[in-house]
Amino acid sequence: MQLLDGKATAQDIREELRVAVEQRKSNGQKVPHLAAVLVGNDGGSLTYVNAKVKACEQIGFDSSLIRYEDSVTEDELLAKVHELNNDDEIDGFIVQLPLPEHIDELKVTQAIDPLKDVDGFHPENLGKMVLNLPCFLPATPAGILELLKRNNIETEGKDCVVIGRSNIVGTPLSIMLGRSSNPGNCTVTLTHSRTKNLKEKVSQADIIIAAIGKPGFVTADMVKEGAVVVDVGTTRVPDSTKKSGWALKGDVKFDEVAEKCSFITPVPGGVGPMTIASLMINTLRSMDLRGK
């Protein structure tokens, strides 16, 4: 078994982006500026946003963090989105999800200018992604593809089972892996909580992508010898041995599955860092898409 080391691969990408930013600077071009909007004090969201800001600093992007209390109204948040859409200094921005229940996430996502939507969640970007037109690709699926590509994992003609059909991971990933590209050209089965004979389907797959949020769901008896296993799940579970009191757990029973598969992503240090790297790639790309 070989580890698909997302942390190391993401570090390579950050270094390439840092060089690209230096190049832009020496050409007298603008440095990309990423803004992140964070509502509330959820520990997970705060960790993700801080990691994004830190990645910007390492690469040399400008970054801004805009924070609101949970009590922010939908109108206030939409006003900020419009302000960021019209601010020429800001090249791309994200609104960290999830948002409090009184705010309509779809409305907020749709209010973001598609040319600044570096998360790739706007319907226009998702539609363009389906048609293989230039767009911002959703960060987690794009990060997974980049991880496979940079580790020379062959996808062409492979049977791939994606577990979980969320709009941000499973569904776009199944489309991206199935289309005629590299990585791609897989025969994809997109599975979910209503799938019959899930275990049987997963156990026939050459490539397994688990994105459900159920720690240890994928066990060794579900995995074919030599399969490639990508674990997207990140669930906080209580762990008294950690200073924080919790540990991050993936959807795959790592120890037993690692013995059977050819490649596997760890949690943490697999898909998570690649998601942030993709966001950074999208932020640099925003300069091209907006002709800057």
CB of 267 to ligand NAP, least distance (A): 8
Annotated catalytic, 2? no
80, 91, 96, 117: the active-site residue: 96
Q: Is 148 in the site for ligand NAP (CB under 6 A)?
A: no
Q: Mark residues 196-235: x for contact with ligand NAP by CB under 6 A, - for none.
A: --x------------xxxx-----------------xxxx
Query: Is residue 62 flagged as an active site residue?
Result: no
Of the residues 119, 206, 231, 251, only one is catalytic, namely: 119
Instruction: Kindly report whether the peptide bond that precedes residue 100 is cis, defined as omega within 30 degrees of 0.
Output: no
Q: Which is nearer to ligand NAP, 21 or 277 (CB)?
A: 277
State which residue, 140 or 286, has the beta carbon closest to ligand NAP: 140
**What is the size of the binding site for ligand NAP (CB under 6 A)?**
25
**Which token pair is 20?**
């690209």
Q: Which position among 96, 155, 189, 275 is part of the footprint of ligand NAP (CB under 6 A)? A: 275
Residue 75: which residues within 8 A CB-CB, separation 6 or more? none
Contact residues for ligand NAP, defined by CB under 6 A: 140, 163-166, 168-170, 191-195, 198, 211-214, 232-235, 271-272, 275
